Structure 1
Amino acid sequence: EIPTAEVAVDDLLLVRPGARIPVDGIVVAGESDVDESMVTGESLPVHKEPDGEVIGATINTNGTLRVRATKVGADTALAQIVQLVQEAQNSKAPGQQLADRAAFWLVLVALIGGGLTLLGWSLSGATFATSLLFAITVVVVTCPDALGLATPTAIMVGTGLGAKRGVLFKNAAALEASARIDTVILDKTGTLTKGEPEVTDFITDGAPESEVLALVAALERESEHPLAEAVVRYAEAAGVAALSSTTFENVPGHGAVATVDGHRVVVGNARLMKREQIKAGDLAGTRDELAAGGRTAVMAAVDGLAVAVIGIADAVRETSSVAIRELHDMGINVVMLTGDNQATADRIAGQLGIDTVIAEVLPSDKANKVKELQEQGKKVAMVGDGVNDAPALALADLGMAIGAGTDVAIETADIVLMRSDPLDVPTAIRIGRGTVRKMRQNLGWAVGYNVIALPIAAGIFEPSLGLKLTPEWAALAMSGSSFLVATNAILLKRLRLPSIEDVGESRDQGPDEHAEAGATL
């Protein structure tokens, strides 16, 4: 064992069960579940295997891993998170700059007010001691502590609350900007979807589904195509028999042919079926229907007869529908931006209840779409994960980068979502709105307190009502106002944020009122 400070890039580390992973790295050998909750906020352990990335300071739970260090010291993800949070808490929001100017003027008001109070009471015939007492009370009661604490306390609580949920605000301005957002643009692939295909439909012509699926899966296990991997995952989840193929022929761009358990199995597109002289028959209509719905339709044939159609599509993240619903509940218009075809985009939009779909967009045009919405007077937040999203993230009023995305996207964005979870988009906006609301409440209290306390401290109501403050009570009132401001900011921790439990509620309720596809641009 060596100190973490002595670990260098490319060093090979042995991480035992229960040990904390010292640096960021890539798994070279071994499998294990890693608790990443302190970094991502995700409560469930994440399975790691060779070529998987691990994050420093996370806990290896049950297996032994050999890890090659890729980032050490200040370059690790945890160090970057700490730096981002510190910078955000130390930064000044536009509202805080206004409060700082107000605090400066309040000091002048206190000094001038104290002087005028001393002069006024002296001219009215009061003794110098009485006049000085009122003047000191004015200076004490108008101390700008509450005004100075109004925004920094709310910012510290807001950024800390976000960090616990894996939502990193790069600065206080991002908090304020998130509160003004009325339109959110979501990139489809990698944001709303997992970016990997999954089987959505497996339709047979009457043959036993389990038998057909077992034959098809045996063929697909020999292929390295992403669609083949999706079929294998589907078969494993269904628990069908694991058969083996004896011969296998890959047909690039079309599919594959294999012999499985004495049967000739063909899986692929219409061109492969035509080459093998296999007619789709009654399944042709099903195939066309799936294709029209934005799915990739794959035919399966056994011994020269078409027996099944497999619908495959990009897998929607489990939390996407709840994220859209939460955004709608906040009165935010949701736009899905994608370079995919219109049919696929409409299918995802209909499934999630998205308001507006902008499909078949070239990567270079994403920023233009953001600009078009801004020209309509919208306050736009852009959520993306790729290099091609970076210009749009920079142009938007608020850029959010999915944490699993590229370094370029993360560098450009104002907010980083560490968990790669679309549910963190409404979470970030709720935190922003809650923080700004607390800032305004604190500023309102600080200003209101001074407006009320200053004339009382100056003794204006003493002749008529006998109402006055002594310096001791003025100091107590000033301290009390600062305490109330700090307490009000801490109450931000009670803010209701979207959670994974809402996903289960969404499934129980079924499709919500937004479940129809929205407008198309």
Structure 2
Amino acid sequence: MEHDHHHAAPDIPAGANTAKDPVCGMTVAVKPDGRHAEFQGETFHFCSEKCQSKFKADPWFYASGRAAGQKKAAPANVQYTCPMHPEIVRDAPGSCPICGMALEPMVPSDEPSEELTDFTRRMWISAAAAVPLIILTMGELVALSVRDWIGHQTASYLEFVLATPIILWAALPFFRRGWDSIVNRSPNMWTLISIGVAAAYLYSLVATFLPGVFPEQYRMGHGVGTYFEAAVVIVALVLVGQVLELRARERTGDAIRALLDLAPKTARRILPDGTEYDAPLENIMEGDRLRVRPGDAIPVDGTVIEGRSSLDESMLTGESMPVEKGPGDEVTGATINKNGSLVMEAGKVGSDTVLAQIVAMVSNARRSRAPIQGLADRVSAIFVPTVVVIAIVAFVVWLIFGPEPALVFAIASAVSVLIIACPCALGLATPISITTAAGRGAQAGVLIKDAEALERMAGVDTLIVDKTGTLTMGKPKLTDTVALGDVTETDLLSLAAALERGSEHPLAEAIVEGAEAQGAPRQEATDFDAVTGKGVQGRVGGRAVALGNAAMMREMGLDTAQAESKADTLRAEGKTAMFVALDGALVGIVAVADPIKESTAQAIRELHAQGLRVIMATGDNERTAQAVAGKLGIDEVRAGILPEAKKDLIDQLRRDGHKIAMAGDGVNDAPALAAADVGIAMGTGADVAMESAGITLLGGDLMGIVRARKLARATLRNIKQNLFFAFAYNALGV
């Protein structure tokens, strides 16, 4: 196991008794007064207090050797990225080589931002220095002639004392970023601020200590004017802006922190001898048996092995209705156990859990780059050099044509141009909107994998939807039982279920579950035989029973004409109708269908209201597809098409100039999801589908598409507003 903390290896005297630290594996000298702990009659020795604390939190885990013998999902090393240039990724904190902005962790931690803490401190100290500086220089405007009381030279020295720590310490991050921008030939806001503040401070420094270098005409009443207060006020105001932006960026990580907080900090491990204790979540491994008490959150993804309970899975699906769970059922970490006690086996732990994947997706969206970001970058790239040129022109014009003292006015004008043009808002207009949208989307069950998907979603005009698992539940259900002759519906269902218990056909499970749900008597079948492509037959209670399609009935010599009209009606509704025969006579029909999700019809109506064209593309037959489309009011149907044909359909529509979103849930939808402008995967579907899509709907609910499109359009509108106002303000200021 890796030694995950840093300290020097202890010096062990020759011949001394040694022991192995069970936490980190280091060899340590056994000392009577050394760090040690007792567990199950054995004494363990430790190299540091940190290892001792870890052991005491979970002694069985370390004493049993599991820590060294198995690899648990350790947290990934923290990486840092630039909020304005997400392609910049570093292993350590620092400044962005493009814009100079401080890099931030990719996944927010529970700890407060060090940069925010540091900049807040710098802001308050700068503000504290700015107040007396303003009083010293402008006090006479409010009848506080401090400069007259203490004398001009003393006032200048006092200004120097107040301003110097602010310029050399509080403004230091700005100068570093400004220098980086010059070295990297990427002029940006820090270039402007650095030049402006440095110009004001250096001019004032010369004016204070070497006033004689200025010609007589540059002197005012008591000497050469200084601009210490301008430099400090600029630094203080920029720091205020930085603190506000850092707080905004901190808030955009709140959704991720809230997701991280859903997981419990400990899990109740059951040992082989039956004893139980609370172990740190990071020590839980695949195969561990865990108890989940009523009211507790499920610690990791896994399978129920004992007990029954209802779970609140709203974190995963957005649905408030509890879901019943029993032995064999899969459970998801961070969902809430409502009433019963469960024993589960840990399946996926650490970064493999559903919750960890959700966090990773939201985190990726936070730092991904929308195409519209290019507009902000292009504007900044032109704007900054232009401003520098304008500042130089202003300096030259004031120096040549300005009133005396021209140099003072020239420098002041150039500094004013450089500072007012600061493009902070311009550069952050897009990232803040994107990160906020990603966080809000996650809370609404819409996971945005990358910002490009969000930006493209706003322009989508056509939605292609898969049928099974997207429009429908994806699992067949028994819908109709039609008795013909003397057999009751309950008896008919009992016979059908008895035969289907031996079948592996997908529809068989629907009939068996339907019979159990309706309380049909359970019977067993013998002499079971599956007739491929036609049906099943056998004996139930000593009587010959068959269940299958019309072709099977005809082979048995049965006339299905009397039942065909009813079967056709069922088929027209998108259902699969199967005939049941008893002792050579037709006795009924059972029908199975994949039911439409409750919210699908409303979602289609709202998408139509937003002006979207909706096309169903399915591998199912034309009749079933048309039946579903008819119920939902879908515009077009492409039935019986293979995965490649779905992709070809998307390619053709894109060539025709349409912006396409594709919604699907299966492996067969993956090529189409990747080909579309925006791929939308059902969170209830296959992993491959989710990997191929830019947006995932956690609950598999099509209303999520409505929410995603509204969110995308609002976000794009907000980005354009931000860019306009940021650019307009800077341009107007210049």
TM-score (norm 1): 0.78
For residues 231 and 120 of structure 1, do their structure 2 counterparts lie closer, same or farther at Cα, with a shift above 3 Å needed? Answer: same
- Show the counterpart of 1:78: 355
Distance (Å, rounded) in 2 between the aligned partners of 1:334 and 1:386: 19
SS in 2 for 1:19: coil
Measured after TM superposition, the shift of residue 359 of structure 1 is 0.9
Measured after TM superposition, the shift of residue 149 of structure 1 is 2.0
- Show the counterpart of 2:664: 384
Q: Does 1:47 align with 2:310?
A: no
1:252 to 512, 515, 530: 530
* Preserved CA contact (<8 Å) 2:682 2:699: yes
* Preserved CA contact (<8 Å) 1:182 1:333: yes
Higher mean C-alpha displacement, 329-338 vs 197-206: 197-206
- Show the counterpart of 1:154: 433
SS in 2 for 1:400: strand
Q: Does 1:287 align with 2:567?
A: yes
For residues 205 and 88 of structure 1, do their structure 2 counterparts lie closer, same or farther at Cα, with a shift above 3 Å needed? Answer: same
Distance (Å, rounded) in 2 between the aligned partners of 1:284 and 1:400: 40
SS in 1 for 2:414: helix
Deviations 1:256-311 (A, max 9, x none): 56657x99876543345446655445322222343355421123456766454333
* Preserved CA contact (<8 Å) 2:548 2:579: yes
* Preserved CA contact (<8 Å) 1:110 1:138: yes
Distance (Å, rounded) in 2 between the aligned partners of 1:247 and 1:340: 31
* Preserved CA contact (<8 Å) 1:245 1:258: no
Distance (Å, rounded) in 2 between the aligned partners of 1:274 and 1:104: 78
- What amino acid maps onto 1:340 in structure 2? D
- What amino acid maps onto 2:303 in structure 1? I
* Preserved CA contact (<8 Å) 2:643 2:672: no
Measured after TM superposition, the shift of residue 153 of structure 1 is 1.2
* Preserved CA contact (<8 Å) 1:11 1:68: yes
- Show the counterpart of 1:22: 299
1:185 to 443, 447, 464: 464
2:473 to 171, 191, 194: 194
1:4 to 264, 281, 286: 281
Distance (Å, rounded) in 2 between the aligned partners of 1:393 and 1:289: 35
Measured after TM superposition, the shift of residue 405 of structure 1 is 2.1
For residues 141 and 197 of structure 1, do their structure 2 counterparts lie closer, same or farther at Cα, with a shift above 3 Å needed? Answer: same
- Show the counterpart of 2:455: 176
Measured after TM superposition, the shift of residue 442 of structure 1 is 1.0
SS in 2 for 1:361: coil
Q: Does 1:407 align with 2:687?
A: yes
* Preserved CA contact (<8 Å) 2:616 2:637: yes
Q: Does 1:358 align with 2:638?
A: yes
Q: Does 1:125 align with 2:405?
A: no
Higher mean C-alpha displacement, 342-351 vs 320-329: 320-329
- Show the counterpart of 2:493: 217
Distance (Å, rounded) in 2 between the aligned partners of 1:275 and 1:194: 34
* Preserved CA contact (<8 Å) 1:281 1:306: no
* Preserved CA contact (<8 Å) 2:545 2:580: yes
Q: Which runs of 5+ in 2 are unaligned?
A: 1-276
Distance (Å, rounded) in 1 between the aligned partners of 2:461 and 2:642: 24
Distance (Å, rounded) in 1 between the aligned partners of 2:349 and 2:602: 37
- What amino acid maps onto 1:149 in structure 2? L
Measured after TM superposition, the shift of residue 246 of structure 1 is 6.7
For residues 193 and 379 of structure 1, do their structure 2 counterparts lie closer, same or farther at Cα, with a shift above 3 Å needed? Answer: same
SS in 1 for 2:372: helix
Query: Percent of counterpart pairs with the same letter?
Result: 44
* Preserved CA contact (<8 Å) 2:402 2:410: no
Q: Which has the higher contact order (CA 8 A, sep 6+)?
A: 1
The number of residue pairs the alignment matches comes to 448
Distance (Å, rounded) in 2 between the aligned partners of 1:391 and 1:297: 32
- Show the counterpart of 1:243: 521
Measured after TM superposition, the shift of residue 154 of structure 1 is 0.6
Measured after TM superposition, the shift of residue 86 of structure 1 is 1.5
Distance (Å, rounded) in 1 between the aligned partners of 2:536 and 2:488: 17
* Preserved CA contact (<8 Å) 1:216 1:267: no
1:370 to 645, 650, 664: 650
Distance (Å, rounded) in 2 between the aligned partners of 1:198 and 1:38: 26
SS in 1 for 2:699: coil
Distance (Å, rounded) in 1 between the aligned partners of 2:496 and 2:581: 13
Distance (Å, rounded) in 2 between the aligned partners of 1:406 and 1:217: 33
- What amino acid maps onto 1:252 in structure 2? A
SS in 2 for 1:196: coil
- What amino acid maps onto 2:422 in structure 1? C
Distance (Å, rounded) in 1 between the aligned partners of 2:561 and 2:490: 22
For residues 244 and 419 of structure 1, do their structure 2 counterparts lie closer, same or farther at Cα, with a shift above 3 Å needed? Answer: closer
Q: How does 1:501-520 map to 2 (within 5 A)?
A: none
- Show the counterpart of 1:441: 721
Distance (Å, rounded) in 1 between the aligned partners of 2:670 and 2:412: 62
Measured after TM superposition, the shift of residue 439 of structure 1 is 0.6
Higher mean C-alpha displacement, 156-165 vs 320-329: 320-329
Distance (Å, rounded) in 2 between the aligned partners of 1:405 and 1:228: 22
Distance (Å, rounded) in 1 between the aligned partners of 2:585 and 2:576: 20
SS in 2 for 1:47: strand
2:711 to 431, 440, 443: 431
- What amino acid maps onto 1:17 in structure 2? P
- What amino acid maps onto 2:334 in structure 1? A
TM-score (norm 2): 0.57
Distance (Å, rounded) in 2 between the aligned partners of 1:425 and 1:255: 41
SS in 2 for 1:383: strand
Distance (Å, rounded) in 1 between the aligned partners of 2:526 and 2:417: 91
Q: Does 1:34 align with 2:311?
A: yes
* Preserved CA contact (<8 Å) 1:219 1:258: no
Distance (Å, rounded) in 2 between the aligned partners of 1:184 and 1:375: 15
For residues 363 and 91 of structure 1, do their structure 2 counterparts lie closer, same or farther at Cα, with a shift above 3 Å needed? Answer: closer
SS in 2 for 1:214: helix
2:591 to 298, 304, 311: 311
- Show the counterpart of 2:615: 335
- What amino acid maps onto 1:212 in structure 2? T
Measured after TM superposition, the shift of residue 104 of structure 1 is 3.6
- Show the counterpart of 1:461: none
